[in-house]
Amino acid sequence: MIKEIAETIERDGPLPLARAMALAANHYYATREPFGTTGDFVTSPEISQIFGELVGLFFADLWARAGSPSPFLLVEAGPGRGTLMADMLRACRHALPAFAEAAQLHLIEQSPRLRAIQQRAFPSAIFHERLDTLPTDAPLLFVANEFLDALPLTQFERTDLGWALRAVTADGWDLSTPANIQLVPEEIRDAVPGSVYERNFAAETLVAGVARRIAAQGGAALIIDYGYSGPALGDTLQSIHHGQFADVLQTLGEADISAHVDFTAMARAARPHATVYGPIDQGVLLLALGIRARADRLRAAASIETRAEIEAAVARLTSPGSMGRLFQALAFTAPGWPQPSGFPTSTR
Ligand code: SAH
């Protein structure tokens, strides 16, 4: 656990998990290079350029069918090294130059260190710490991959006395704060002591905010992350240190801390404002968007070793036993916007 968190606990007492996680993520992304083969984790855009290319074409196609509004805001939350956006823009410049020309790039990024990297990659990008400062006068296309999982999570634990909020102390979890029972869904309130229920209020607020803006300004969002359809019991909080699972509390601030995303809750947050599609498996989406055809094109021009790498990357991104099913995709659009490709009919 980093000093800043230990000192906060010493001063203020047990720290609600969401606050501890916010401090931890801040420190972690500001000080470490988590991405790539030497880092703590590898994300889909870092596995293959095809991922970003397909996401780019997904948006370009939707934008063209919506009447090619120009200009529009192309917004990414948590771009990391910028790989997804770079692949999106390259594919779109090639396939539909008018899309790339009409795009005004806005990046939501908290880490000053990652911001500097992103600024070098996208000199014209406008940076934001939060959603609130985005312009309100143009349609927005919003993308986030492995962003929501990093937002501060709230955990409730069932104790012998009822539900408690999980808080962090110097030497373990604290359960002395009773939870507001209204926040725990009725169907799981009777769970056995020790059961954990998760809500990510920060993620719900973000998704609702994006959906509200999209409804007002026009546009669409695509959110991809690892997750499940809640409500469910279970502690999904995880800490990854140099590619290995580590103890969450011991490594607070020094490792990548994240939690699986409840996509039912995300869809619910968007639904009052937008037309919701999915969630569906990442593998299903990528196959529907044409990952096979694109991989075949790339393979045709590649060396034998590169061909094998392309195949392995496609399998990793799409197969149910790898990232194809654990990762889920959710889309939502402004009322009146066309249906996004790759998704079955709206789940409204
Ligand atoms: N989307 C990238 C990186 C995912 S890592 C990829 O797929 O490779 C999470 C990213 O979100 C990092 O860029 C991190 O700095 C950023 N981030 C985490 N919490 C944030 C917050 N509360 N506000 C803004 N950015 C945040």
pLDDT tens-place string over residues 68-109: 999 999 999 999 999 999 999 999 999 999 999 999 999 999
The backbone torsions φ and ψ at residue 162, rounded to the nearest 5 degrees and listed phi first, read 130, -160
d(CA 172, CA 168): 6
pLDDT digit string (tens) for the chain, length 348 residues: 899 999 999 999 999 999 999 999 999 988 877 776 666 778 999 999 999 999 999 999 999 999 999 999 999 999 999 999 999 999 999 999 999 999 999 999 999 999 999 999 999 999 999 999 999 999 999 999 999 999 999 999 999 999 999 999 998 999 999 999 999 999 999 999 999 999 999 999 999 999 999 999 999 999 999 999 999 999 999 999 888 899 999 999 999 999 999 999 999 999 999 999 999 999 999 999 999 999 999 999 999 999 999 999 999 999 999 999 999 999 999 999 999 999 998 765
Calculate how far, in angstroms, residue 163's C-alpha sits from the geometric centre of ligand 1. Answer: 31
Instruction: Please tell me whether the overall predicted TM-score, pTM, comes out greater than 0.85 for this model.
Output: yes
Query: Three-class SS of residue 216?
Result: helix
d(CA 71, CA 103): 6
pLDDT tens-place string over residues 296-339: 999 999 999 999 999 999 999 999 999 999 999 999 999 999 99
Going along the chain from its start, the domains and CATH numbers come out as 3-154+196-329 (3.40.50.12710)
Map 130-197 to HEC letters.
CHHHCCCCCCEEEEEECCHHHCCCEEEEEECCEEEEEEEECCEEEEEEECCHHHCCHHHCCCCCCCEE
Helical residues (DSSP H) of the chain, grouped into ranges: 3-12, 17-31, 44-47, 49-65, 83-95, 97-102, 112-121, 201-217, 263-270, 282-288, 291-300, 304-318, 323-326
Calculate how far, in angstroms, residue 67's C-alpha sits from the geometric centre of ligand 1. Answer: 31
Calculate how far, in angstroms, residue 300's C-alpha sits from the geometric centre of ligand 1. Answer: 34
Pocket (CB within 6 angstroms of ligand 1): 25, 29, 43, 45-46, 78-80, 83-84, 108-111, 114, 145-147, 150-151
In sequence order, the β-bridge partners of residue 223 are 144, 330
By most ligand atoms within 8 Å of CB, the mutation choice from 31, 47, 110, 133 for ligand 1 is 110
Query: How many other C-beta atoms can be found within 10 angstroms of the C-beta atom of residue 321?
Result: 10
Burial class (CB in 10 A: 0-12, 13-18, 19+), 283: buried
